[in-house]
Structure 1
Amino acid sequence: MSEEFNIRHARIVDINAITAVEAACFPATEAATREEFEGRIQYYGDHFWLLYEGDQLISFVDGFVTDEADLTDEMYERAEMHDEHGAWQMIFGVNTLPAYRNRGYAGRLLRRAIEDARQQGRKGLVLTCKDRLVHYYACFDFVDEGISDSTHGNVEWHQMRLTFGD
C-alpha cells in the first residue's frame, strides 16, 4: 500500500464518512445508524480503525471491549456497555467500500485491531459473520464456534473467536 494510506482512530468529524461506508456495505436492516455511530465514537472511538486514502474513508473496523465472552445483539445498540478494561475486543463491523474490495484493506485493519488487542492485554477478539465469510476470518486464526444466538438484521450469523495464547 502506498504512503498515502493512513490508519487512525475515529473522531466525531468522521461520522458522515463512517455512516456512508456502512450504508454502502450493509443492507439497511443490518447497518448501524448515524446515531449509533455517534454513541460508538463517544464511548470507544479508540476502538475504531479507519483506513483513509487521502481524504476518502475506504475501510473501517469497529467494536467495543467487554468482559462478556459472547457477542450479543444488545451490544450493537448500547455503546455504553463498553468497558475499556474488558477482556474481549468485540468486532461489530468490517467495512470496505465496494470499489476498494479484494485489495487487502480490511485485512490490514483486522491485523491492526488484533495487534492492538494483544498489546492491550486482551484475551482475544470475537466477531460474528455470515457463512460465506467464515473461511476469510479463519485466515486470521479466528475459530468458528458455530451459529450464534444473534438475530441481528434477521440473518444467521456464525460467532468466531481468536484467543491469544499465554
Structure 2
Amino acid sequence: MEFERVTLNDLDAIMAIEQAGFNAAEAGSRASYQDRILNLGSNFIVAKDDAGNILGFVCGPAVNDRFVSDEMYENISSNRESGGHQMILTIAISPRFRGQGIGSKLLQQFEKQARQLKRTSIALTCLLDRVPFYEKNGYQNIGISDSIHGNEIWYNMEKIIG
C-alpha cells in the first residue's frame, strides 16, 4: 500500500467510496470534494494498492479552531501550512477493503504528517458506533459535538500530538 497526495484524477474513485460509506445527508458533494482536492494540498491523502486503485482516503483542513464545524464541510476557507489544529472531515475506506487495518494506517500517516507540520492536535467528529475505533487509535471522546451535519448526533474526538 502506498500513501499519496490526492489529484483531480482521483475524484471519481473518491466519490464512489464516499457514496458507499455515507448516507445522502452525510456524504460530501462532488463540488465539495473538488474544492477539497484543489485547496487541501497535502492534507488530503489517498491509500492505493500496487495497481493504483484507491483503497481509502483521509482529508481535512488545518485551522485555528480546536474542533470541526459544519461550515468546514461546505467550504474550505483556510488551510494553515503549519501549526494549528488538523481537522479530519472524512476518512473512508472502500467497502471491498474494510476490516484490513487501512483506516488505522491512514490515521497513522495523517498523524505523522501533522506532527511534521507542528500541529497541536487532530480532531474529527464521528457517530457513536465509531467511537471505539478512534479510541483504539489514540483519540479521546470529548463529548457530543455542536454539529448537526446530516441530522445526526456527532461526537468530538481529539488526539493531542504537539
What TM-score do the two structures reach when normalised by structure 1? 0.93
Match of 2:117 among 108, 117, 120: 120
Which position in structure 2 is the counterpart of 1:31? Answer: 27
- The runs of at least 4 aligned residues of structure 1 exceeding 3 Å deviation read none
The answer to whether the 8 Å contact 1:75/1:81 transfers is no
Match of 1:143 among 124, 140, 154: 140
Match of 2:158 among 154, 157, 161: 161
- Unaligned 5+ segments in structure 2 are none
Q: For the aligned residues, what is the CA RMSD?
A: 1.1
1:63-86 per-residue CA deviation (whole Å, 9 max, x = no partner) reads: 110011121000111112323234
- Unaligned 5+ segments in structure 1 are none
Alignment size in residue pairs: 161
Counterpart CA distance in 2 for 1:28 and 1:40 is 18
Aligned positions of 1:11-22 closer than 5 A: 11-22=7-18
Is the partner of 2:143 in helix, strand or coil? strand
Identity %: 33
Query: What letter corresponds to residue 21 of structure 1 in structure 2?
Result: I
In the TM superposition, residue 128 of structure 1 has moved relative to its aligned partner by: 0.4
Aligned positions of 1:103-114 closer than 5 A: 103-114=100-111
In the TM superposition, residue 102 of structure 1 has moved relative to its aligned partner by: 0.6
Match of 1:45 among 30, 34, 41: 41
Is the partner of 2:118 in helix, strand or coil? coil
